[in-house]
Amino acid sequence: AKGLPEDQAQALAARLTAEPANALDTLAREELGVDPEELGGSAWEAALTSFFLFALGAIIPVAPFLFLSGLTAVVVSVALCGLGLFGIGAAITLLTGRSVLRSGSRQVVIGFAAAAITFGIGRLIGVSISG
């Protein structure tokens, strides 16, 4: 009731929730601690941005195989992935203020660990891609 007597709190709540936009705004601010005006953007914008960034990320390991073959393509793909992962980790430092080297290296280790685990699971269940 935020220091109000119950009858006044009930009346205030009824007034605040009488209009759905006000109710949503009040709920976001009071219960969630979020300022709706700071959220911005749209769901479509977020979805399209996510799609294009994921597609861009997926192109990095595949692109060398479009122009090269065999071990050369694998080595170039791994190198490009390492550079891409390091770049993402370095970019994160703009938000965290941590060391570029530490954050970039951490991202490389996590990314390559995820790739190794995925590869290992594929080997365990007998999945392979032959060229």
The answer to whether residue 100 sits within a structural domain is: yes
Considering the domain architecture, whether residues 60 and 12 belong to the same structural domain is answered as no
Place of tokens 């205030």: 12
Considering the domain architecture, whether residues 66 and 31 belong to the same structural domain is answered as no
Distance between CA atoms of 115 and 123, rounded to whole angstroms?
A: 12
pLDDT digits (tens, 9 = 90+) for 84-128: 999 999 999 988 889 999 999 999 999 999 999 998 999 899 887
The answer to whether residue 108 sits within a structural domain is: yes
Task: Give CA 33 to chain center in angstroms.
Answer: 22
pLDDT digits (tens, 9 = 90+) for 20-56: 887 888 778 877 888 777 777 788 888 999 999 999 9
- pLDDT at 73 > cutoff 90: yes
Q: In the prediction, which pLDDT does 130 show? A: 64
Considering the domain architecture, whether residues 23 and 47 belong to the same structural domain is answered as no
What is the DSSP annotation of 29-66? HHTS---HHHH-S-HHHHHHHHHHHHHHHHHHHHHHHH
65: left (phi over 0), alpha (psi -120 to 50) or beta: alpha
Q: In the prediction, which pLDDT does 70 show? A: 92
The alpha-carbon radius of gyration of the chain (Å, integer) is 25
The answer to whether residue 97 sits within a structural domain is: yes
Q: In the prediction, which pLDDT does 59 show? A: 95
More confident residue, 30 or 10: 10
Structural domain harbouring 82: 43-124
The answer to whether residue 130 sits within a structural domain is: no
Judge contact between 58 and 77, C-beta under 8 A.
no
Q: In the prediction, which pLDDT does 131 show? A: 53
Distance between CA atoms of 69 and 33, rounded to whole angstroms?
A: 53
Judge contact between 92 and 118, C-beta under 8 A.
no
Provide the domain count of the chain: 2
Q: In the prediction, which pLDDT does 86 show? A: 97
pTM: 0.62
